[in-house]
Amino acid sequence: MELDLAVSKTDKFGVSPGGDTVEVTERPNGGVSVVLSDGQGSGPPAKAISTFVVFKAVSLIADGARDGAVARAVHDALYAQRRAQVSATLTIVSADTDNEELVITRNSNCPVIIISGTGELTLLEEASLPIGTQRMIRPQVVQLPLKSPRTVLAFSDGILSAGRSSGNPVKVGELAGLAAGMAGEEAAAISRGVLEWAVERDSGRPADDISVVALRIVRRKGDPRIREMTVRYPI
């Protein structure tokens, strides 16, 4: 099998830096995790929150902590440091090759979309509070077999708010159908396609920061000894 992972991001129109942070990290016993956080508010204050959350999570993953424990520990750290005054969403998508599991961990109002090889859609949308503001907050943790083909789509709430100002808000079912229609494409095409679709709903001026993560589990195509990562970052 092979993991095909891509992230596409854009900032809220007229605001920089955006309040979303996404990082990809290798797991200590094999596989990768992608961590997505959206800090409360927008601009530099929100970016500071989401950066703290993501890099705390990445550090704990590198130490070998399980994803559910990572989410709880990051919540406790944010709650203590910011005295329960700020919140952040947190989504972790992990392809854990050591245990042959796909693990999805959510503290977010945004669902995660999973598409099987037969086109079957699964929405992870159980109510899950953002971290940071209440003493006891639990993540939703879902574990699935790591098998091919399978596509996972995670995103920040800039996707769900797209088009709201014009009275044409995004519906989750509509988004799921869009993702299913692109499930056979490479991850970069999926993440970019969903992002551009949302930006178009906002007439080219995103009303919120938008981050889209696409992870595909597919049949291995290339040299098994070679791992690659590509980043495109406009400045």
CATH assignment at residue 72: 3.60.40.10
In a domain, 226, yes or no: no
Instruction: Indicate the pairing of strand 88-96 with strand 101-107.
Output: antiparallel
Tokens of 183: 């499930």
In a domain, 122, yes or no: yes
Percent of the chain with pLDDT strictly greater than 70? 100
In a domain, 144, yes or no: yes
Q: Which of 149, 158, 171 is nearest to 213 (CA)?
A: 158
pLDDT digits (tens, 9 = 90+) for 105-150: 999 999 999 998 878 899 999 989 999 999 889 999 999 999 888 9
Name the DSSP class of 139. -
- More confident call, 1 vs 33: 33
In a domain, 233, yes or no: no
Dmax over CA atoms of the chain, in Å, equals: 50
Q: Which of 141-155, 184-198, 217-231 has the lowest mean pLDDT?
A: 217-231
Measured between alpha carbons, how far is 111 from 134 in angstroms, rounded to an integer? Answer: 21
pLDDT for the residue numbered 120: 87
Measured between alpha carbons, how far is 4 from 63 in angstroms, rounded to an integer? Answer: 24
Buried b / exposed e across 31-42, counting CB within 10 Å, b at 16+? Answer: bbbbbbbbbbeb
* pTM for the full predicted model: 0.94
Q: Which of 199, 187, 200 is nearest to 7 (CA)?
A: 187
In a domain, 234, yes or no: no
**Is residue 233's pLDDT more than 90?**
no
In a domain, 231, yes or no: no
Terminal CA-CA length for the chain: 35
CB count in 10 Å sphere of residue 135: 8
Count how many domains the chain has. Answer: 1
Measured between alpha carbons, how far is 119 from 149 in angstroms, rounded to an integer? Answer: 10
In a domain, 62, yes or no: yes
pLDDT for the residue numbered 165: 80
pLDDT digits (tens, 9 = 90+) for 32-55: 999 999 999 888 999 999 999 999
In a domain, 20, yes or no: yes
Name the DSSP class of 103. E
pLDDT digits (tens, 9 = 90+) for 157-194: 999 999 888 888 888 999 999 999 998 899 999 999 99
The domain in which residue 58 lies consists of 2-218
Under 8 Å between Cβ of 6 and 35: no
